Amino acid sequence: MTQSRSTRDVKALEASLYMQAARRVPVTLVRGEGTRVWDDTGKSYLDFVAGIATNSLGHAHPGLADVIATQAHTLIHVSNIFYSEPQIELAELLISHSALDRVFFSNSGAEANEAAIKIARKWGKLHRDGAFEIIVTDHSFHGRTMATVSATGTPRYRDPFAPTLPGFVFVAYDDVDAVRRATTPRTAAVMVEPVQGEGGVNVPKPDYLPQLRRWCDEQGLLLILDEVQTGVGRTGTIWAYEQVGIEPDVMTSAKGIGGGVPLGATLAKEHASVFEPGDHGSTYGGNPLATAAGTYVMRQLVETDLLANVRARGEQLARRLAGLEDRTPLVTGERGVGLLRGLELGKEVAAEVVTRAVGRGILLNPVRPDVVRFMPPLTVTAGEIDEAVDIVESVLQEIGS
């Protein structure tokens, strides 16, 4: 018989059994409730990583847990060769609460972007004389599959796997002129994140997306927005694009949409919706379990005051982080939108700040050597924000200048 989970040395076993593809924080998490998680020694943490922006409703949300359990007792999975009610229920919610007309479900952000890339390629064949290039940006993150890693603006994620997929043209982020210069008859689409998440919580100028939209309209290009991290309420509106008054032709979603259950979505306007029967597929994509969870998360967003909480708590977090600038010499600023925020440090000590913060019971993520990312569940309370920033302040004072 195998030992009970709690008496096994998970970290040692991981080192010998698991592919060493990730650098892990030496903490084994065993349970959660709301914004809090507990490790295998009983120590509790405020979770400001939230599964990398996936656990929108916090941990062990009773309503979400009930929906998942009920669906599991009813029908977990059916093949996409059949119709399924939860899938169409979520499709209806997403279409009625976005500017897009059709959806395709998958299991992750990378997969959602794969579908968007395939749409751009096929659309270019049909409508732009075989154009196939997609303009993407430096410091972008679109996923780890071969196509999405080829589109990702971090060379160290791409180089070990060269040759990468052709057809991605890199330009600086937040620079519309660079996109204009890179546009050729081969260009089919421009793909960007409304705010770069993994690249460092990089917020573009307010007119960046509107100008990109205008350029794509003038040139007849598709504008693809990767809202995998920014979507589903994270920035204080359901989709980040709503805040700059534009609409994408294609948009991708994942991370927070399933509340922690793997789910991805690719949405498109009718004119960009070029898939025909046989063009694309996914065995698990949009299965009843995942889409029942997604429906519950979307309902919470549109039927409760969750978005108001994101805006209020986002402002509070921004204000508290900005306040650290006056009180701790290490802090040089803060940036972000809603509950996706970064604390800027004058030195490359983000990893040390995070390690010490974990020791004091708050989970954070060093998204760049000099930026600590904060992305709590959308349900985070005012008290939890204050508690988290107080801990970070004491850690910064400990490190000194």
Ligand X SMILES: *Cc1c(COP(=O)(O)O)cnc(C)c1O
Interface residue list for ligand X (CB under 6 A): 108-110, 113, 141-143, 193, 197-198, 226, 228-229, 254-255
Nearest distance, CB of residue 43 and ligand X, angstroms = 27
Q: Is the dihedral of CA 177, 182, 183, 189 positive or negative?
A: negative
Active-site choice (226, 249, 275, 370): 226
Nearest distance, CB of residue 122 and ligand X, angstroms = 21
How many Å apart are CA 363 and CA 133, to the nearest integer?
39
Nearest distance, CB of residue 355 and ligand X, angstroms = 23
Active-site choice (249, 255, 275, 374): 255
Active-site choice (104, 105, 132, 141): 141
Identity of the residue, 110 or 209, whose beta carbon is nearer to ligand X in the bound complex: 110
Contact assessment for residue 358 and residue 350, using Cβ atoms and an 8 Å cutoff: no
* Nearest-CB residue for ligand X: 109
For residue 398, what are the CA distances in angstroms to 289, 331, 368, 371, 401?
46, 13, 21, 18, 9
Active site residue 9: no
Burial class (CB in 10 A: 0-12, 13-18, 19+), 198: buried
Identity of the residue, 228 or 307, whose beta carbon is nearer to ligand X in the bound complex: 228
Calculate the CA 269 to chain-centre distance.
Answer: 21
Nearest distance, CB of residue 199 and ligand X, angstroms = 9
Identity of the residue, 37 or 195, whose beta carbon is nearer to ligand X in the bound complex: 195
Contact assessment for residue 357 and residue 389, using Cβ atoms and an 8 Å cutoff: no
Q: Is the dihedral of CA 77, 81, 82, 84 positive or negative?
A: positive
Nearest distance, CB of residue 286 and ligand X, angstroms = 15
Identity of the residue, 193 or 384, whose beta carbon is nearer to ligand X in the bound complex: 193
Active site residue 255: yes
Active site residue 141: yes
Identity of the residue, 236 or 264, whose beta carbon is nearer to ligand X in the bound complex: 264
Order of strands, sheet of 331-337, starting from the edge strand that comes earlier in the sequence: 331-337, 340-345, 371-374, 365-368
Task: State the catalytic residues.
Answer: 141, 226, 255
